[in-house]
Structure 1
Amino acid sequence: MSVIIELMDETETMTNDKITLIENILQYASKQEQIPAETELSVTIVDNDGIQTINNQYRGIDKATDVISFALDENEEVVYGEEDMPNLLGDIIISINKAEEQATAYGHSLERELGFLAVHGLLHLLGYTHDEQESERRMFSRQESILNAYGLER
């Protein structure tokens, strides 16, 4: 069994290869993080206007960003496997425009950037943060470890 991922491409620009990459890297990362099978999460691909609207509405920041995560149990202890309750992890929203911009700026492939953003979003859903130096080090180290092991090296 595996994690259940609902991926929506609101831009209608994603190729099947890129959709499969995001699904596969999230499955891989979920196993690395020992997320129970049948846990559900969604990924939505939007453009810069779409993510700017979401960023402004929910975070009060009126600019486009690369990825936003909404954990469903953000302020509660997550209890996996409760009977009769679906394991809903949350939502990851990725701007394809920002992913393309950042891939060019960092000199790596769009696939590497999409993988990075997907894993980054997943780790946020699991409670990782980068608001302090130590938590940032921990999160970014974990991201790199997962991406490198999967084969999406810089």
Structure 2
Amino acid sequence: MSVEVNNESGHTLDEAEFAALARHVLDAMHVHPGSELSILMVTPEVMSELHVQWMDEPGPTDVLSFPMDELRPGSEGDPTPAGLLGDVVLCPDVAARQALEAGHSTAEELLLLTVHGILHLLGFDHAEPEEEKEMFGLQRQLLLTFLAGR
């Protein structure tokens, strides 16, 4: 599993932890071990540009996902085909504000957003209440199993 983490945000972050989390999520979702994923941490200015360009929404957001090969979760013994999963772009400044409101650390918020972004790459969404329940439940389970194992 190739996971590339690039931090262009100016924040000090443990890139290896984000790569380990991504591998945990992709393994749990039975994504082919030959697949590739990119995680990028950016400044609010860069995130604002991406948010306007791709979502037609002003200002920075916390996470954006850019799927490539539109891979979907596999199953035990039947992983996805190998491919380019896509890019998850995170904005630590926005995550820091959200973390303060939620009462946990910026690192915890960024880990949560990483799982959220990867699930979007795998086709999950939360536009409808039932989709939200499924996605957020899975997101919580994946993050908790990762944190329990470290």
How would you bin the TM-score normalised by the shorter chain? Answer: 0.7 to 0.9
Deviation at 1:100, TM superposition (A): 1.1
Which amino acid is the alignment partner of residue 57 of structure 2?
Answer: I
Q: Is the CA contact (8 Å cut-off) linking 2:9 and 2:91 kept in structure 1?
A: no
Which amino acid is the alignment partner of residue 118 of structure 1?
Answer: T
| 2:12 maps to 1:14 | yes
Match of 2:19 among 19, 23, 31: 23
In the alignment, what sits opposite 2:76?
A: none
| 2:146 maps to 1:145 | no
Q: Is the CA contact (8 Å cut-off) linking 1:36 and 1:80 kept in structure 2?
A: yes
| 2:51 maps to 1:55 | yes
CA RMSD of aligned residues (A): 1.8
- What SS class does the counterpart of residue 66 from structure 2 fall into? strand
Cα distance change of structure 1 residues 40 and 112 upon mapping to structure 2, 3 Å threshold: same
Report the TM-score when normalising by structure 2. Answer: 0.88
Mark the runs of 5 or more structure 1 residues left unpaired by the alignment. 82-86
Deviation at 1:77, TM superposition (A): 7.5
In the alignment, what sits opposite 1:32?
A: 28
Match of 2:60 among 52, 64, 70: 64
In the alignment, what sits opposite 1:84?
A: none
In the alignment, what sits opposite 2:132?
A: 136
Deviations 1:11-40 (CA, angstroms, capped at 9, x unpaired): 24333xx21221111111111111110200
CA distance in 2, matches of 1:9, 1:121: 16
Report the TM-score when normalising by structure 1. Answer: 0.85
- How many residues align? The count is 142
In the alignment, what sits opposite 1:109?
A: 105
Q: Calculate percent identity across the aligned residue pairs.
A: 30
Deviation at 1:114, TM superposition (A): 1.2
CA distance in 2, matches of 1:11, 1:29: 23
